[in-house]
Each structure stands twice: as C-alpha cells, then as structure tokens.
Amino acid sequence: MFGRLGAPEIILILVVIILLFGAKKLPDMARSLGKSARILKSEAKAMKEDKSSAPADPPATGEQPPAQRTIQAAPGDVTSSRPVTEPTDTTKR
C-alpha cells in the first residue's frame, strides 16, 4: 500500500516531529527512551538468568528465604537502585 520511504518523506516526518514536540524537548525524550531501553534490557537479562538458574523443585518449608535482590535503573547507576522483595506463592498449601 505505502511505497518505500525516501529522503523527502523522512525529512518531512522529522520536521513535523520537531514542530510538534519542540527542539528543546527532543534530547530529553531521546534520553528517557534510551534509559527505558536499558532498564528493559537489564530486566529481560535478569529474568533469563533467574529462569535458567531456577530450581526444579519448590523449596521446602524449613529452608531460609532467598537473599534480597537489588534492581538497578541502569547498569552502574547506584543512585536509583532499590531492594526488592520476591513475591511469595500463596496458592500452594
């Protein structure tokens, strides 16, 4: 339906974006988008690591709870890290 985008179309789209959002807000928006992408990437990596190292059997009731994890907003960013408690499964009794 739509053909390939050429240089004039891309330039027109960029001009419209600059007019809509203003030149001052674009760097902040790009920075926020990059930070969000880094957070998403680090969380996806953490989920893969947790999934691969998850035990096959559920822990016994007498065992100690797992250590508290810390989630960081970006790799190396220690100012926004916060401890997170793992949710417990209350469906099994």
* Residues 1-58 pLDDT 10s: 467 888 899 999 988 988 888 878 888 888 999 999 999 999 999 988 887 775 555 5
Name the more confident of 21 and 64.
21
Region 46-74: mean pLDDT is: 66
d(CA 5, CA 89): 51
Question: Which of 33, 60, 47, 57 lies closest to 86 in space, CA to CA?
Answer: 47
d(CA 54, CA 91): 19
What dihedral angle (degrees, nearest 10) is formed by the CA atoms of 13, 19, 20, 22? 120
The whole model's pTM is what? 0.39
**One-character DSSP codes across 60-83:** PTTSPPPPPEEE-SSTT--TT-EE
